[in-house]
Amino acid sequence: MTEFTKTGVTRRALLGAFAATTLAAAPTYSNAAGFLRGAGDIRRLKMVSSRTGEQIDTIYWIEGEYIKDAVQEISYFMRDWRLDAVKPIDTRTIDIMAAAHALVDTTEPYKMLSGYRSSKTNAMLRSRSRNVARQSLHITGQAADLRLSSRSVAQLSQAAQSCRAGGVGRYYRSNFVHMDCGDLRSWNG
């Protein structure tokens, strides 16, 4: 990353400022498939973690290009907090999350319950719940469990399914939706 020493402005900050000014002019998306094909100018992801107390609000894609630092920031945010282990999050999963968020038309950030999980953490969770898959895509950085207090599980899962880009699990009792970039499938947990 190039630093501008006279002004103290980084390339990332400059891109973020540019993207923020284009937010108001960004097109709306009538369907997620167009969004995932690159029909928009920017892609943004907003999340909070009650586990770590952290928040993220980042533009990670501008004009057809992923912003490497932003994707790394998302991967760190979605780390296995139990072991403080980080794995790169698949950008396809990030895109599905962002597209579903745009489709439900809210400014509320996602509450992230689970992102990357190490094999050790996954095994521990599997021993406590039959709903944790042995070969979970969380282990490969390809899945997230998310909730929005302003939208129902049905609304959020419908948005994610309309992306037609991966798996969507509905967990009504626990009030969250699983999104991943694996095979097209859906289930109730």
Domain ranges for the chain, please list them: 3-188
Contact between 73 and 58 (Cβ < 8 Å): yes
pLDDT of residue 12: 53
User: What is the rounded average pLDDT of the residues 40-69?
Assistant: 93
pLDDT tens column, 94-136: 999 999 999 999 999 999 999 999 999 988 887 888 777 778 9
Which contacts (CB < 8 Å, 24+ apart) does range 129-138 have?
131/171, 131/189, 137/167, 137/180, 137/181, 137/182, 138/114
CATH of domain 3-188: 3.30.1380.10
Q: Is residue 170 helix, strand or coil?
A: strand
- Sequence-separated (6 or more) residues with CB below 8 Å from residue 84: none
State the Cα–Cα distance between residues 170 and 96, nearest whole angstrom: 15
pLDDT of residue 123: 87
pLDDT of residue 115: 95
Residues, the chain, total? 189
- Sequence-separated (6 or more) residues with CB below 8 Å from residue 11: 1, 2
pTM of the prediction?
0.78
User: What is the rounded average pLDDT of the residues 69-84?
Assistant: 97
Q: Is residue 7 helix, strand or coil?
A: coil
User: What is the rounded average pLDDT of the residues 59-80?
Assistant: 96
| pLDDT at 18 exceeding the cut of 70 | no
State the Cα–Cα distance between residues 139 and 125, nearest whole angstrom: 12
Least confident of 83-97, 129-143, 169-183: 129-143
State the Cα–Cα distance between residues 130 and 125, nearest whole angstrom: 9
pLDDT of residue 40: 56
* Positions of E strands within the chain: 3-4, 9-10, 42-48, 55-62, 65-66, 110-114, 143-147, 167-171, 176-180, 185-188
User: What is the rounded average pLDDT of the residues 81-91?
Assistant: 96
Q: Is residue 131 helix, strand or coil?
A: coil
User: What is the rounded average pLDDT of the residues 57-73?
Assistant: 96
State the Cα–Cα distance between residues 104 and 163, nearest whole angstrom: 12
Sign for the CA dihedral angle at 156, 82, 88, 78 comes to: positive
